[in-house]
Amino acid sequence: MSRLPNFFIIGAPKAGTTSLYHYLDQHPAVFMSAIKEPHFFADEIREEHCEPELRRRMARENRGLRDFLSGPMREKRFGGIVADWEDYVRLFANVTNESALGEASVCYLWSPTAPDRIAERIPNAKILVMLRDPADRAFSQYLHGVGNGAIRWSFREHIQRSLRHCSGEFCVYYPFLEFGLYSEQLRRYLERFGQNVWVGFYEDFKNHPIDVFRSICRFLGIAAEFSPDMARRHLEAQVPRMAAIGWFKRSGLWKTAARMTPAKLRPLLRRSLSRRPGATRMDPADRHYLVDFYREDIRKVASLLGRNLDGWLYLR
């Protein structure tokens, strides 16, 4: 019989899901899919639904994806849209005795099609959701885009461009703001999976990571005593000190330069060219704007989950 996932990390983006993927992957009872972010169950994440530039990038990446899927897949790969069921099943070909088989695609939470598609194939799946203050989440995604060269304008300009964007094509503008409108997204999963939905919060995960990790282990029915190595933070944005560095990364020359740089010098080079995202603060006026934008939805989420989320409404 095919080995299929029995739990999913579905989002939200920039809410600690990559770290959670790697921490769970260390657990002896857990097997995480060979690719993080395959997005098989989200029909919206397909080349034909993306803007032309993103479509071209996906087409280029597909060549490497095919090589990976046809190989031994001993190392995990970040990203690669898997649209074929046989390819998706192959992501779990290396499962041995693990009992908790997981997959992580952060667009599943936002995707209107993913809940039904998951339920059709794996009706008893367990669903892990990690939520984050939507204003902070948006700013973190913006910094990630600045860091990889996709965005070269201010945060307020990016918000305004996202509001004006109306093509419906998946791109840097869409669903940038929509990712943080959690209430309807959560409702879809709660209706289909009920008690099999675990909801956590990035703020708790950041401040008490081992407690949140063990709560998830208990939810998955695996040993909660295991302690993963949490020394490394995954997928943190590195904000370039100069705009040209973002272009350099986007062009692909960054990886070439990294290969030519001695390994011992690479951390020093990264620190000299980039600053950590914590050093870049959101303008209070932008936070005020986003708090107003998300205010009603935050209240709906608080009511849906029975949790006080007033902290997301504070202006700081």
Q: Is residue 168 part of a domain?
A: no
Q: Is residue 223 part of a domain?
A: yes
pLDDT digits (tens, 9 = 90+) for 151-160: 999 999 999 9
pLDDT digits (tens, 9 = 90+) for 183-239: 999 999 999 999 999 999 999 999 999 999 999 999 999 999 999 999 876 555 556
235 or 124: which leads in pLDDT: 124
> Global pTM?
0.87
Residue 232: the pLDDT is 73
Q: Is residue 136 part of a domain?
A: yes
Q: Contact, 150 vs 172, CB < 8 A? A: yes
- Whether a cis peptide bond, with omega within 30° of 0, leads into 240 is no
269 or 130: which leads in pLDDT: 130
Q: Average of pLDDT values for 39-62? A: 93
Residue 109: the pLDDT is 98
pLDDT digits (tens, 9 = 90+) for 76-117: 999 999 999 999 999 999 999 999 999 999 999 999 999 999
Q: Contact, 130 vs 20, CB < 8 A? A: yes
What total number of domains does the chain contain? 1
Q: Is residue 263 part of a domain?
A: no
Using a pLDDT cut of 70, give the percent of the chain over it.
84
Q: Identify the weakest region by mean pLDDT among 80-89, 144-153, 269-278, 303-312.
A: 269-278
- At residue 251, does pLDDT exceed 80? no
Q: Give the Cα-Cα-Cα angle 94, 122, 184 (nearest 5 degrees).
A: 120
Q: Is residue 153 part of a domain?
A: no
Q: In the Cβ-directed half-sphere of 41, how many Cα atoms lie within 13 Å?
A: 26
- At residue 255, does pLDDT exceed 70? no
Q: Average of pLDDT values for 66-82? A: 94
Q: Is residue 256 part of a domain?
A: no
Q: Average of pLDDT values for 273-293? A: 83
| Average model confidence (pLDDT) across the chain | 90
Q: Is residue 119 part of a domain?
A: yes
Q: Is 68 helix (H, G, I), strand (E, B) or coil?
A: helix
CA dist 17 and 227 (Å) reads 17
pLDDT digits (tens, 9 = 90+) for 219-228: 999 999 999 9
Q: Determine the angle formed by the axes of helices 155-164 and 284-305, rounding to 10 degrees.
A: 60
Q: Is residue 244 part of a domain?
A: no
CATH code, domain with 36 = 3.40.50.300
Confidence band for 275, pLDDT divided at 50, 70 and 90: low
Q: In the Cβ-directed half-sphere of 76, how many Cα atoms lie within 13 Å?
A: 18
> Which residue segment(s) compose the domain that 18 sits in?
7-140+180-238+295-313
Q: In the Cβ-directed half-sphere of 223, how many Cα atoms lie within 13 Å?
A: 10
Q: Average of pLDDT values for 51-64? A: 90
